[in-house]
Amino acid sequence: MTGLSDNIQMTNDFRWIMDIVKNVDVGLVLLDKNYDIQLWNSFMQNHSSLYAEDVMGKNLFKCFSEIDEKWFNRKVESIYLLKNSAFTTWEQRPYLFRFNNYRPITGRAEFMYQNSTFIPIQDLTGNITSICLIVYDVTEQAVNNLELAAANAKLERISKTDGLTGLLNRKAWEDQLNNEFDRLQRYHQESSLIIFDIDHFKKVNDSYGHPAGDEVIKCVAEITQKCIRKTDFAGRYGGEEYVILLPHTAVSAAEILAERIRKKIESQTISYEDLSINITVSFGLSQYNDSLKSATSWIDSADKALYISKENGRNQVSLFTHAPA
C-alpha cells in the first residue's frame, strides 16, 4: 500500500506542478539541443495565438522568424560553456518574441516589452540536455521608464533652448564654448567663433512694434540655423545678438559662412502682418589662439571685431587679429 500511495502522491505532485507551469503568468518554453520546442505553456499560447500542438516538436526559428538566430545561438553557446543561466532585458533587446500588447493601461506600446531568462536543464550526470526560456511581460515598467526618459529629455532640451528662436540659450551656448575652450587648450586645434547682431534693431522695434521685432529675431535665427553644420553651435546671446561656435574651423572658413549669412539676411524681406521689413547684420570673428587666457577672452576678441564692423558702417564682417605670441 505504501508504494501505491507514493505513486499516487507523485502523480498528484506532477499534476500540481504541470498546473503551475501551464497557468503561471510568465512564458515558459523548453527547447532541446536542436531548438525544437518541448514545452509551451498557456502564457505563450495566449500571446502568440499558437496552441501547444501547433508548435511542439517544431524548430523555434521556423515558428518565430523575428528571433535573431545568430544572437540566440551566441547566448545559448555561453550557457552550454559556463553552465550558468543568462539574462536579457528589454533595454538590451525590447523583446524575444514579438507579441502584441493587450494591456489597456500600457496600450500606448505597439508590442510587449520582455525580460527573458535562459536556464540550462541538466541530467543526473550534469550534462545540459535542454534550455528553459522564461519570458516576463514588463511592458508597463518599460513604457513608464521610456516616458520618463522622454520627459526628462524634453525638459533638458527646454532648459537649453531659447524660447523665441529655438537656438541654444546663452547658458547652454556658454557651456559649449567652455567645453570647446578646454579641448583646444589640450589639443591646440583650429576653431572659430562668430558674434553678430542686427543693425539698428531699436529702430525696428520703434517703427514696427515689438511683435514685429520678435519676428525679425526669429527670421535671423532660422537663416542662421539653415547655414551652419550639425557640428556647429548657434545661440542667442542676448536681445538681438547671436553667436556661433565652429569647432575644427579656421577663421577663413568662418568668414565664408558669415558672409553667406550676411548676404541671405540682407536679401531677405521679412513679412509680418501687412509689413515688409528689411534688415542688415554686422559680424565679428575670432579664431582660437593659444594666447587666449579664457573662453571669456575669446568671445571678447570676437566682440571687438564686431565693434570694428559697426564703426566702419555696419553690414559687414570683421576679423580679430591676435597679437603675435
Q: In terms of Cα–Cα distance, which of 223, 99, 85 is closest to 167?
A: 223
Extract the runs of DSSP E, i.e. beta strands, from 168-249. Answer: 191-198, 233-238, 241-247
Residue 156: inside a domain = no
**Confidence (pLDDT) at 172:** 97
With cell 526559428, the residue in question is 61
Secondary structure class of 231 (helix, strand, coil): coil
To the nearest whole percent, how much of the chain has pLDDT over 70?
90
Look up the pTM and report it.
0.71
Domain-located, residue 81: yes
What values do phi and psi take at 296, rounded to 5? -65, -40
- The residue behind cell 495566449 is 46
Q: Is residue 235 part of a domain?
A: yes
Mean pLDDT of 267-292: 96
- SS3 state at 41: coil
- CATH number of the domain residue 186 falls in: 3.30.70.270
Q: Is the pLDDT of residue 227 over 70?
A: yes
Domain boundary among 146, 176, 211: 146
Question: Does residue 178 carry a pLDDT above 70?
Answer: yes
- Residues designated as active site: 240
Question: Is the model's pLDDT at 11 over the cut of 60?
Answer: no
Q: Do residues 168 and 310 both lie within one domain?
A: yes
Return the number of other C-beta atoms located less than 10 Å from residue 127's C-beta: 10
User: What pLDDT does 196 receive?
Assistant: 98
In a domain, 151, yes or no: no
- Domain hosting 81: range is 2-146
Q: Which region among 7-21, 135-149, 232-246 has the lowest average model confidence (pLDDT)?
A: 7-21
For the chain, the straight-line distance linking the first and the last C-alpha, in angstroms and rounded, comes to 105
- How far apart, in whole angstroms, are the C-alpha atoms of residue 158 and residue 161? 5
Q: Across residues 269-295, what is the average pLDDT?
A: 96
**pLDDT recorded at residue 25:** 87
For the chain, how many structural domains are there in total? Answer: 2
Examine the pLDDT at 325 and tell me if it is beyond 70: no
| Residue 75, helix vs strand vs coil | helix
State the average pLDDT for the chain. Answer: 91
